[in-house]
């Protein structure tokens, strides 16, 4: 029976760690935007090496 004490202690610790994980995820804003990241991960990382195709850039620096 005394094993129960240990098990209950563990079960509460596990549950508490889930609670901590939940609070942490809310605090760091992981639920603030549940759409954009799902799109963002689909973008290919196009290599940066490419030279501008036309030289006369009218873009202001």
- Tokens 């240990």 correspond to 6
Contact between residue 22 and residue 16 where contact means Cβ atoms under 8 Å apart: no
Binding mask 24-43 for another protein (x = CB under 8 A): --xx---xxxxxx--xx-xx
User: Does residue 53 belong to the site contacting another protein (CB under 8 A)?
Assistant: yes
Q: Which residues contact 51 (CB under 8 A, 6 or more apart)?
A: none
Residues that bind another protein (CB under 8 A): 1-2, 4-5, 8, 11-12, 15-16, 18-19, 22-23, 26-27, 31-36, 39-40, 42-44, 46, 48, 50, 52-54, 57, 59-61
């Amino acid at each position: 029976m005394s094993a129960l004490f240990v098990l209950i202690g563990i079960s509460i610790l596990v549950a508490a760690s889930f609670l901590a994980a939940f609070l942490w995820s809310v605090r760091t804003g992981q639920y603030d935007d549940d759409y954009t990241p799902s799109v963002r991960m689909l973008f290919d990382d196009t290599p940066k090496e490419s030279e501008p195709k036309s030289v006369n850039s009218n873009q202001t620096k």
